[in-house]
Amino acid sequence: MDLLRAVENSGFGIWVRESGSVWSYPTIIFLHAVGLTFVAGVNAAMDLRLLGFAPRLPVTSMAGLFPVMWVGFWINALSGVALLIADASTMMVSWVFWVKMAAIALAVVNLIVIRRLMFVDVPESGIARDIVPVRVKMLAGTSLLFWTAALTAGRLTAYLGAGALAKGSH
Amino acid sequence: MPWVETFARYLHGTRLSWAVAGGYQWIWPLCETLHFIGMGLLVGIVGVLDLRMLGIGKRLVPGPFERLIPWAIGGFLLNLVTGFLFFTGDPSQYIHNTVFWLKLLFILLAGINALLFYATGIARRVDVLGPGDDAPLSAKVIAATSLALWIGVIYWGRMLPFLGGAF
């Protein structure tokens, strides 16, 4: 706990939390929302296709979305670390925060598995892969579930667990 | 705009306003969560189409992808409803907030931009693009405008508590 408090009260932690600068907490939390859109939102679009919506869209033509999702992921990993530093002693003991981390870990592993099964070693035409196996459809479903859980837990860090006590309502 | 004040005062007096503002404590966090889900669906799906037109992920064929647009519209409607509920919860903190009006303005501009995309026939030229085909310049302008406006909407939304003093 002393270590967490030290991290939280580092120059950077104080700047993020207390400087009042638009470039600190407000901008970081904005970037976190943009990153969310590009990792979870774009992944949701891919999941919907795998589940059978937009059936005329060749599945492999979505391969170019992976870099977009990774950019979103890293925006959120970096902005998330900054937010965590600013609130270390609260977040590290918040069970909702750890639910969020677990959901993200599952969502990312899920995405990597889908990539292996549907996008790796695909011939240029990619037509053969347009039939989505049932197990990949199930993975698309769990992907939507994990990202929804991550997003929900992320929102609720301010309302449940240690974060609720720290901030009060809203 | 006096009618805004009148409407705000009316809303604030409703039982719904009381419920959202804390009468039932779970309503606000639930609406926030749904608002983020709607945002992800709307800007995620529209964003993919915009990026494709701008040349990122060019193997994606835009025509068939547009069949996912109803999900983006669904996300928008979800956010319209949850956004209205936030507004109902405490209208006064929004109507006197420049950031809130900027957010609404950006949503309006993004809507007009989307209408232009379909009404000018640019959408029809994008629909027929094959894998790897370059989108016409007019489509790229629309796409860049769309991305900038929607990210702007997210920006103003996030800035409500910081620049405008809401919650």
Of the candidates B50, B48, B42, the one whose C-alpha atom is nearest the C-alpha of residue B148 is B50
Name the residue with higher pLDDT: A125 or B125: B125
Residue A138 in this model has a pLDDT that exceeds 80: yes
CA B13/CA A14 separation, integer angstroms: 40
3-state secondary structure of A9: coil
Q: What is the mean pLDDT of chain B?
A: 95
For residue A36, give the nearest of B40, B60, B71 by CB distance.
Answer: B40
CA B91/CA A110 separation, integer angstroms: 42
The confidence band for A169, taking pLDDT boundaries of 50, 70 and 90, is very low
Average pLDDT over residues B54-70: 96
Residue A43 in this model has a pLDDT that exceeds 50: yes
Question: Which pair of tokens denotes residue B77?
Answer: 């409607």
The confidence band for B46, taking pLDDT boundaries of 50, 70 and 90, is very high
Are A57 and B61 within 8 A, CB to CB? Answer: yes
The region, left, alpha or beta by phi > 0 then psi within -120 to 50, assigned to residue A83 is: alpha
Distance from the first to the final alpha carbon of chain B: 23
pLDDT of residue A83: 96
Residues of A with CB under 8 A from a CB of B: 22, 25-26, 29-30, 33-34, 36-38, 40-45, 48-49, 53-58, 60-65, 67-68, 147-148, 151-152, 154-156, 158-159, 169-170
List, for residues A92-108, the tens digit of each pLDDT value: 999 999 999 999 999 99
Residue type, A135: R
Are A129 and A118 within 8 A, CB to CB? Answer: yes
Residue A72 in this model has a pLDDT that exceeds 80: yes
Q: Which of B31, B50, B60 to mutate to test the interface with A (most CBs of A within 10 A)?
A: B60
The complex scores an ipTM of: 0.93
For residue B57, give the nearest of A58, A65, A147 by CB distance.
Answer: A65
Chain B (99-118) residues lying within 8 Å, Cβ to Cβ, of chain A = none
CA B167/CA B162 separation, integer angstroms: 9
Are B79 and B38 within 8 A, CB to CB? Answer: yes
Q: Does B47 touch chain A (CB under 8 A)?
A: yes
